[in-house]
Structure 1
Amino acid sequence: MATRLRPASKKCTVIGGSGFLGQHMVEHLVGKGYAVNVFDIRKGFDHDKVHFFLGDLCRKEDLLPALEGATVAFHCASPAPSSNNRDLFYKVNYLGTKVVIEACREAGVQKLVLTSSASVVFEGTDIKHGLEDLPYAKNPIDYYTETKILQEKEVLSANDPEGKFLTVAIRPHGIFGPRDPQLVPILVQAAKSGKMKFIIGDGKNLVDFTYVENVVHGHILAAEQLQRDSPLCGKAFHITNDEPIPFWEFMSRILTGLGYEAPRYHIPYWLAYYLALLFSLVLMLLRPFIAINPTFTPMRVALAGTFHYYSCERAKKHLGYKPLVGLDEAIEKTLRSYPHLHRTA
């Protein structure tokens, strides 16, 4: 049978393609007929239709071979948000992104789609139906967010229609799904160690959680709709499941679905926040003598106890975005993908 040739415009590079989001992105792009290169610091999986390039994001000479012939680059490389390494975040998210932009221009890549984060506008206080024109957080909740702000600004300001280089940023929130190494495994570990007994606040705060397939869909739509003089150029777009859910209901559904007890005792938000703040100050004083990476932090209390959900109206209007997988189905698919984390009888 004759093989259909892919047009040159369907060649793309996924930077960070070995990561959780990156792997799903690669699979969907291949399924849509794209020729895909992956650039990452490690090879996270095997795929006979994908070309892998290994190297350091901050070295342009490492990046250039992976970008050769590509018209679109998806940049979703980042250290895990749970890391507390400020220097690593700054190096990868900011300095590395400056190198990505330079390499894309040099390689003749026409479009750069950045995986940003809705947290770039979050300061630990309630956000309801947040729009993309909210100001960047003046007091970011963590080092990850601090450097994602720098990164997004860098990418969006690099948009240059005259120079035939177009950029757009996708801001997902609360990504979850099969093969996620963060949210579900960390939640299960916390439950096993007895740390998931308390609900912070009244438990009614709504939050966006976004299924990974919907996040990928938003990125691909952005790449395909990004054209000179389009409203996408140099802009950010929220991509969520568009179904905000009480934070503690989502956590409880994951835990009970895997055989663990749901949290049931309430602790006032203000008390949890100040206890976490006090704990952080004590650890800061002890740091010269002992290194502890805390899980109970003011940032995590804020994420668990406030409203933070975002409007997808801009994405619906300009990208034609609509979630492919509803929240109930997404939770079921996710739970089925973690049989090894199910509590044994």
Structure 2
Amino acid sequence: MVIGDQFRTCVVLGGRGFIGRSLVLRLLELGNWIIRITASAESLQLDPSEQNSLLSEALSTGRALYFHVDVRNKTQIIKAIEGSSVVFYIEAANSYTHDFYQCYMIIIQGAKNVINACRECKVKRLIYNSSADVVFDGSQDIINGDESLPYPWKFEDMLSNLMAQAEALVLFANDIDGLLTCALRPSNVFGPGESQLVPLLVNKAKSGWVKFIIGSAKNMSDFTYVENVVHAHICAEEALCSRMVSVSGKAFFITNLEPVKFCEFVSLILEGLGYQRPMIKLPACVVWYIVSLAKWMCAKMDSRIFNSSGYVHNIVQLASCTRTFNCSAAQKDIGYSPVVSLEEGVALTIESFSHVAQDSSFIRDNDFEQSKVEKLLGSGKVADVLLWRDEKKTFTYFLALFLLYYWFFLCGRTFISSAAKLLLLITIILSGYRILPSKIFGLTIQRIPLSCFEISEVDMRNSITTLACMWNSVVRVTRLLAQGDDWNIFLKVAVSLYFLKLTLSHALTMAVGVALVLAFTSFFIYEQYEEEIDGIVKILLNSMKVTMGLLVRNLPISVA
């Protein structure tokens, strides 16, 4: 194929990243571009899905060319962009590390090299893919923010700080040596091939951590489907090509124009992939301190863990703060409007991540397979209450038990007087309920059937049988103690009675209160995080075994 004069040449710096791949594909679909794709890899390796695709065809015909470029090397940049009319600068976020020097060289020095190379090669237009994070300080909500927002004095994370500086360099270079520049600030980009937000949500869903809602769940966020970001780049190029004064040297927020609650967006993604949506609310300040501590600890350990924890830190920010942006400037000056709705974008994203979706059998297994705790509790009414199967019913039981706890232990009366007053109160209530008329102000009073106060013969027989078994067990233990042959039983009974005495004499009230709280929390928590807790217990037991082994080996042979 012979490339004619109707083709223009552009360069996509970072063309193998998430946004870069979509931009390359869109430019190929337009049909009037020769595209130079750059990335840090030595050679271009196509994914299986890209075999026999528009990209592979373009590479074979010369409409697409690949260049190995490290943005820290200006010579490589010049070789890639020489003779092109426009450069789309979209550095891949996954190339960043926790090392400040490396990030500085890639982001800041890389931006300087790109700008200088464009000026030397007489490139006419440079479009920088920035981020809405450059105006976010990590603490203050942003509601319908526009381009008049200044850069914060202090950034919450290093990458946003460096990216803001790079954006400022690009905008400051506008109209120098004939180079026109602008920057786009997409907010929370998502879509097929995205490697941070959705994979993180899936991993946390598999481990059970996305069951929690951080904060009030009312905070709004703007998201941007990747195709809309690509469309904004093309609109910006066309506007710069017209040498519009209102575009060159400016930055523009890019969103889907559909603010949504962050929790609702996460729920749509998770439910679409077959996972449970967040249900349990946690105070944002508590989660914030925990994640900050974890980030600090991970920074001392391993870089890969640090990168993951840092992104979790950003997710917590996103989940607890409102961040919405006004795209009026982009709509007016570069003619941007979303080409894919938020609903359609979510559906396409879910479809692209079907390989990590939960099996359809997940819900069925969850509904019918009993957990260890449920089996321990007998799989009956007690299990339903303590495992919060019905929240209203469980809360009612908890409130009733707490009132009884207060009545018998916290009100200052003796146990017998409390029991007597409670029986008197129940008697008065039942008697008063009995003498009420059948209707009051047109409302029918339901009568308590006498069957509610009756005990069936089966229940009575079972109760008596249980009491008899308990009595027989006590008698059997007493006989063994009387014979004086089994010192093991004696020690068990003596120690148990001693601790019972201590409990009854000193801390019965506290023990009952703690037991009440633990009964309604520990079983539920264990069921939610059974694998994690079992893993921690296993690690602790193994550590104890290793420690005991070391102690035994270090003891004298006679003592060991």
Instruction: State the TM bucket, normalised to the shorter chain.
Output: over 0.9
Alpha-carbon distance in structure 2 between the residues aligned to 1:16 and 1:298: 25
CA shift digits 1:141-166 (9 cap, x unpaired): 211101101100110000016x2110
Residue 228 of structure 1: how far off its partner (Å) = 3.4
Q: Which amino acid aligns with 1:111?
A: R
| Alpha-carbon contact 2:298-2:309 (below 8 Å) kept | no
Residue 89 of structure 1: how far off its partner (Å) = 2.0
Q: Which amino acid aligns with 2:29?
A: G
Alpha-carbon distance in structure 1 between the residues aligned to 2:348 and 2:93: 26
Residue 83 of structure 1: how far off its partner (Å) = 4.7
CA shift digits 1:282-322 (9 cap, x unpaired): 556xx2x7775263765432221010011100001101111
Alpha-carbon distance in structure 2 between the residues aligned to 1:270 and 1:81: 31
3-state DSSP of counterpart to 2:183? strand
Q: Which amino acid aligns with 1:35?
A: I
3-state DSSP of counterpart to 1:128? strand
Alpha-carbon distance in structure 2 between the residues aligned to 1:23 and 1:185: 18
Does the alignment pair 1:70 with 2:84? yes
Q: Give 1:41's aligned residue.
A: 40
Question: More displaced, 85-94 or 127-136?
Answer: 85-94
| Alpha-carbon contact 1:79-1:88 (below 8 Å) kept | no
Does the alignment pair 1:148 with 2:147? no
Alpha-carbon distance in structure 1 between the residues aligned to 2:277 and 2:97: 26
Moved over 6 A (4+): none
How do 1:264-283 and structure 2 match up within 5 A? 264-282=279-297
Partner residue of 2:332 out of 317, 324, 341: 317
Q: Give 2:216's aligned residue.
A: 202
Residue 67 of structure 1: how far off its partner (Å) = 0.7
| Alpha-carbon contact 2:96-2:103 (below 8 Å) kept | no
| Alpha-carbon contact 1:259-1:343 (below 8 Å) kept | yes
Q: Give 2:553's aligned residue.
A: none
Q: Which amino acid aligns with 2:189?
A: I
Residue 192 of structure 1: how far off its partner (Å) = 1.0
3-state DSSP of counterpart to 1:47? helix
3-state DSSP of counterpart to 2:232? helix
Q: Which amino acid aligns with 2:56?
A: H
Alpha-carbon distance in structure 2 between the residues aligned to 1:15 and 1:230: 25
Unaligned 5+ segments in structure 1 are none
- The number of equivalent residue pairs is 339
Partner residue of 1:118 out of 125, 129, 132: 132
Q: Which amino acid aligns with 1:133?
A: S
Partner residue of 1:305 out of 316, 320, 330: 320
Q: Give 2:501's aligned residue.
A: none
Partner residue of 2:260 out of 225, 241, 245: 245
Q: Give 2:355's aligned residue.
A: 340
Does the alignment pair 1:174 with 2:188? yes
Q: Which amino acid aligns with 1:194?
A: G
Distance 1:64 1:290, change over 3 A: closer
Q: Which structure is higher in strand share?
A: 1
Does the alignment pair 1:57 with 2:71? yes
| Alpha-carbon contact 1:209-1:244 (below 8 Å) kept | yes
Alpha-carbon distance in structure 2 between the residues aligned to 1:47 and 1:105: 31
Q: Give 2:429's aligned residue.
A: none
Q: Which amino acid aligns with 2:94?
A: A
- Which one has more relative contact order, counting CA pairs under 8 Å at least 6 apart? 1
Does the alignment pair 1:164 with 2:178? yes
Q: Give 1:30's aligned residue.
A: 28
CA shift digits 1:166-200 (9 cap, x unpaired): 00000001101111122211210111122211110
Distance 1:114 1:202, change over 3 A: same
Distance 1:106 1:140, change over 3 A: same
State the superposition RMSD in angstroms.
2.1
Q: Which amino acid aligns with 2:129?
A: T
Relative to the length of structure 2, the TM-score reads 0.58
Alpha-carbon distance in structure 2 between the residues aligned to 1:17 and 1:165: 21
Question: More displaced, 291-300 or 32-41?
Answer: 291-300
Alpha-carbon distance in structure 2 between the residues aligned to 1:193 and 1:68: 49
Alpha-carbon distance in structure 2 between the residues aligned to 1:81 and 1:309: 27
3-state DSSP of counterpart to 2:210? coil
Greater Cα radius of gyration, structure 1 or 2: 2
| Alpha-carbon contact 1:94-1:150 (below 8 Å) kept | yes
Residue 280 of structure 1: how far off its partner (Å) = 3.9
3-state DSSP of counterpart to 2:123? coil
Q: Give 1:13's aligned residue.
A: 11
Unaligned 5+ segments in structure 2 are 47-54, 59-63, 362-560
Alpha-carbon distance in structure 1 between the residues aligned to 2:5 and 2:133: 37
Alpha-carbon distance in structure 2 between the residues aligned to 1:94 and 1:12: 22
Alpha-carbon distance in structure 1 between the residues aligned to 2:92 and 2:151: 19
Question: More displaced, 242-251 or 57-66?
Answer: 57-66
CA shift digits 1:81-132 (9 cap, x unpaired): 8853333321111111100111111112110000000110001220010111
Alpha-carbon distance in structure 1 between the residues aligned to 2:314 and 2:356: 26
CA shift digits 1:45-95 (9 cap, x unpaired): 353321000121111111122112210000001333885333332111111
Residue 279 of structure 1: how far off its partner (Å) = 3.6
Question: More displaced, 38-47 or 113-122?
Answer: 38-47
Question: More displaced, 290-299 or 201-210?
Answer: 290-299
Alpha-carbon distance in structure 1 between the residues aligned to 2:344 and 2:255: 15
Distance 1:290 1:235, change over 3 A: closer
3-state DSSP of counterpart to 2:88? strand
| Alpha-carbon contact 2:112-2:169 (below 8 Å) kept | yes
Does the alignment pair 1:188 with 2:202? yes
Q: Which structure is higher in helix share?
A: 2
| Alpha-carbon contact 2:294-2:309 (below 8 Å) kept | no
